[in-house]
Structure 1
Amino acid sequence: MVADMTRIMHGAVAASIVVLLAGASSAAQAAPNRPGDGPAVVTTDNETPVLYDDDEGGNATGDDPAIWVGAEGTDSSLVIVTAKEGGLRVYDLDSTEVQSLPATVAPRADGAAGRYNNVDIAYGVEFGGRTVDVAVVSDRYNDQLRFFAIDPAGASAQTPLVEVTAAEQPFLFSPDREVVDEGHTAYGLAVWQTAEADYAVVTQEGATTLATARLVDVGGALGYADVSTIEMPASFPLPDGSVWTPCEEPGVGPHLEGLTVDQRTGVLYAGQEDVGLWRIALPFGSTEPELIDRVRDFGIHDAYDPETEECTPIDPADQGYGGTALEADAEGVDLYYGPGATGYLIVSSQGDDTFAVYQRQGRNALVGTFRVDGVDGADEINGSDGLAVTNRPVGDYRQGLFVTHDEPETGTGVDSERDATNFSYVGWEDIARALRLKVDTSAGNDPRFR
Structure 2
Amino acid sequence: MTIRRTGLPAALLLCAAALAAPAFPAHAAAAPQDTAASSLPTVTPRAETAALHDDEQGGNADADDPAIWRNADAPGRSLVIATAKEGGLRVYDLDARQVQSVPAPPPARPDDAPGRFNNVDLLHGVRLATGRTDLAVVSDRGHDRLRVYRIDRDRPGGPLTDVTDPAAPAIFSAGQEEINEQDTAYGLATWKDAATGRSYALASRNNRTTVALLELTPRPDGTVGYRRVRTLDLPASFRLPNGATWAPCGEPGELPQVEGMVVDPANGMLYAGQEDVGVWRMRADLTGAPTLIDRVREYGVPAAYDEASDACLPTGADPGFGGDRLAADVEGLTLLTEPDGDGYVLASSQGDNSFAAYDREVGDANEYEGGFRVTAASPTLDGSEECDGAAVLNAPLGAQYPGGLLVVQDGRETPVEGDREATGFKFVALTDVLDALDD
Alignment of 1:108-187 (within 5 A): 113-153=114-154, 158-187=157-186
Partner of 1:8: none
Q: Does 2:393 match 1:390? A: yes
Alignment of 1:37-48 (within 5 A): 38-48=39-49
Moved more, 273-282 or 249-258: 273-282
Q: How big is the shift at 1:218?
A: 2.5
Partner of 2:219: 218
Question: SS at the partner of 2:432?
Answer: helix
Partner of 2:348: 348
Question: SS at the partner of 1:374?
Answer: coil
Contact 1:337-1:390 at 8 Å conserved across structures: no
Moved more, 57-66 or 354-363: 354-363
Partner of 1:70: 71
Partner of 1:321: 321
Contact 1:188-1:202 at 8 Å conserved across structures: yes
Q: Residues 36 and 308 (structure 1 numbering): CA distance in 2 closer, same or farther, change over 3 Å?
A: closer
Partner of 1:381: 384
In structure 2, distance between residues paired with 1:153 and 1:75: 14
Q: Residues 107 and 131 (structure 1 numbering): CA distance in 2 closer, same or farther, change over 3 Å?
A: farther
Q: Deviations over 1:300-320 (max 9, x none)?
A: 1111112112111211x3243
Q: Deviations over 1:203-227 (max 9, x none)?
A: 0000000001100122421110143
Contact 1:71-1:152 at 8 Å conserved across structures: no
In structure 2, distance between residues paired with 1:160 and 1:375: 31
Contact 1:293-1:323 at 8 Å conserved across structures: yes
Q: Deviations over 1:375-407 (max 9, x none)?
A: 243112112211211111113212221111111
In structure 2, distance between residues paired with 1:272 and 1:416: 35
In structure 2, distance between residues paired with 1:127 and 1:360: 32
Moved more, 201-210 or 63-72: 63-72
Alignment of 1:433-448 (within 5 A): 433-436=435-438
* Partner amino acid, structure 2, of 1:59: N
Partner of 1:92: 93
Q: Deviations over 1:63-99 (max 9, x none)?
A: 1111111122211211111000000000111111111
Partner of 1:245: 247
Q: Deviations over 1:227-257 (max 9, x none)?
A: 3101110011110000110001001100000
Question: SS at the partner of 2:407?
Answer: strand
In structure 1, distance between residues paired with 2:210 and 2:122: 22
TM-score, normalising length: structure 2 = 0.86
Partner of 1:406: 410
Question: SS at the partner of 1:141?
Answer: coil
Q: Deviations over 1:296-347 (max 9, x none)?
A: 11111111112112111211x3243111211111001111111232111221
Q: How big is the shift at 1:62?
A: 0.8
Report the RMSD for the aligned CA atoms in angstroms.
2.1
In structure 2, distance between residues paired with 1:210 and 1:225: 14
Question: SS at the partner of 2:335?
Answer: strand
Q: Does 2:236 match 1:234? A: yes
Contact 2:37-2:353 at 8 Å conserved across structures: no
Q: Residues 365 and 153 (structure 1 numbering): CA distance in 2 closer, same or farther, change over 3 Å?
A: farther
Q: Deviations over 1:141-190 (max 9, x none)?
A: 11010011000448xx6411011111121111111111111110000001
In structure 2, distance between residues paired with 1:385 and 1:319: 29
Partner of 1:52: 53
* Partner amino acid, structure 1, of 2:58: G
Question: SS at the partner of 1:433?
Answer: helix
Q: How big is the shift at 1:354?
A: 1.6
Contact 2:113-2:180 at 8 Å conserved across structures: no
* Partner amino acid, structure 1, of 2:193: T
Q: Residues 308 and 161 (structure 1 numbering): CA distance in 2 closer, same or farther, change over 3 Å?
A: same
Contact 2:118-2:187 at 8 Å conserved across structures: yes
Contact 2:46-2:429 at 8 Å conserved across structures: no
Partner of 1:359: 359
Question: SS at the partner of 2:142?
Answer: helix
Question: SS at the partner of 2:351?
Answer: helix
Q: Residues 200 and 248 (structure 1 numbering): CA distance in 2 closer, same or farther, change over 3 Å?
A: same
* Partner amino acid, structure 2, of 1:359: D
Contact 1:76-1:153 at 8 Å conserved across structures: no
Point out which structure has higher relative CO (alpha carbons under 8 A, 6+ apart).
2
**Where in structure 2 are there 5+ consecutive unaligned residues?**
1-35
**Where in structure 1 are there 5+ consecutive unaligned residues?**
1-34, 438-450
Q: How big is the shift at 1:132?
A: 0.8
Contact 1:105-1:111 at 8 Å conserved across structures: no
Aligned residues: 397
